[in-house]
A and B are shown apart, each in its own frame.
Chain A
Amino acid sequence: MEGRDHRHEGNAAAYLLGALPDLEVQAFERHVMGCSTCRDEIELLRPAVEALPRSVPPLEPPARLKRTLMREVRNDLSPARPRLLARAKERFEGRSLNVRPALAWVSAAVLVASGTALGFGAAQITGTADPEILTASVDRDRATLGSASLTVPGNSERGAVLSVHGMPTLPSDRSSEVYQLWLERAGEVIPGATFSVGSDGSGYGTVDHSLEEVDRVMVTREAPGGAKVPSETPVIEVTL
């Protein structure tokens, strides 16, 4: 038993259940770092413990709880509300007023090109509710099983979210890489956020910028921290 310390035998279940006193928790966590048997036991029992709270049927929380909570959250945000979000809001509001034909074109292109008929009419895209989901093309040579889609909130100031699945995990040693988003607008390529994927190849990248007049959203593999110009052709590409 690698690193087994008999003082900790049988502690994995108590640890997961929250039944170890604080001092024992610290000692057990130190022990687990060097004991694969205890780590395996934790992983074995974890699904049962994670299911326990789900045995309780949901209760309607009092409305004042949400009011108080969200007041705190807004207070946290108000002094340092990122300027970027405000600018994005302006752009998106401008888009709703001024650029409807372009967005209607986007809708038509998505419905025709991707075959992802989501039932969104052109009026909905510029207006009220549903997010638009654009299917991305993925380079099969570099991501054989990969797929990706860009979710654009219908009237949002929130940019967009790129969801990827089945992408190769990138090396995590010193030669490590991350995925990086890029926006192409009028021939200019603008660097975006970096993101990584989990062991199942799934991950999310967020687009902070307005998509107004953006022609393509792309993803490349770059060094940690991202690059100023892409170092390779896109592995993922969404044409707007």
Chain B
Amino acid sequence: MPDAQLARFADEELMALVQRGDGDAFEAVYDRHGGAAFALAYRMVGNRVTAEDTVQEAFLSMWRSRERYQRDRGSVRTWVLGIVHHRAIDALRRNVVHDRRRAFGEGLAEKEEAPESTEIEVLRRDEARTVRNALDTIPGEQCRVIELAYFGGFTHTEIAEMIDTPVGTVKGRMRLGLEKMRRALEESAA
């Protein structure tokens, strides 16, 4: 277990230590972001075993390419979740027979949430609600293509076939939906 003192370091300070090869600092990064990473992977791939594999692959790749982390290109959490997302998409596309539809819209994640044991976890739940509220402001057909793409790992052409809609329309819905979501997030932050 990492030292309690490491838990007091900011993410970027931890990453400065991780980049020097400090395993304890890396463990602290995992403790801080592993729950969000596992939730995202589980939401995408739809089962615990694949989600575990995905998170492990993602964190190991972060550790082994730690020199590539650049703090001015986004927060540590964004970096972690971006890598988990890519790994989950790889897992979904490797396993084409997997029923990816299971991975979204069925509230899988809600049943086994981490206990609200810390202030940070409470804040993360609040943050999750804020983002879901922003998603709720998007018209249903735009929200659907965004979720199919991001959480389901489907390409725009696959989505176009699934919902029997031209690819150009699918791309347009993605763009409009994201624009609206960005505005909603800005308004909620203000």
Which chain A residues have a beta carbon within 8 Å of chain B's beta carbons?
Answer: 10-14, 16-21, 41, 44-45, 47-62, 64-66, 68-70, 72-74, 76-77, 82, 85, 129-131, 151, 153-156, 158, 161, 163, 198-200, 202-206, 208
Contacts and interface: CB of A to CB of B under 8 A. Distances in A.
B127 A131 contact: no
Contact of A158 (B22, B153, B168, B178): B22
A10 B177 CA distance: 12
A18 B86 CA distance: 8
Interface string B29-49: 011001111111011000010
B98 interface: no
Nearest to B70: A198
A131 B157 contact: no
B64 to A, nearest CB: 7
18 contacts: A10-B174, A10-B175, A14-B155, A48-B178, A51-B131, A55-B135, A56-B43, A57-B114, A59-B112, A60-B113, A61-B35, A62-B52, A65-B38, A66-B34, A69-B56, A73-B26, A85-B21, A206-B17
A106 to B, nearest CB: 16
Given A45-B175, A52-B151, 6 more contacts: A55-B132, A58-B38, A61-B35, A61-B52, A131-B8, A204-B13
Nearest to A133: B8
A184 B89 CA distance: 50
Interface in B1-39: 3-6, 8-10, 12-13, 16-17, 20-27, 30-31, 34-39
B182 A44 contact: yes
Contact of A57 (B31, B110, B174, B182): B110
B106 to A, nearest CB: 13
B26 A204 contact: no
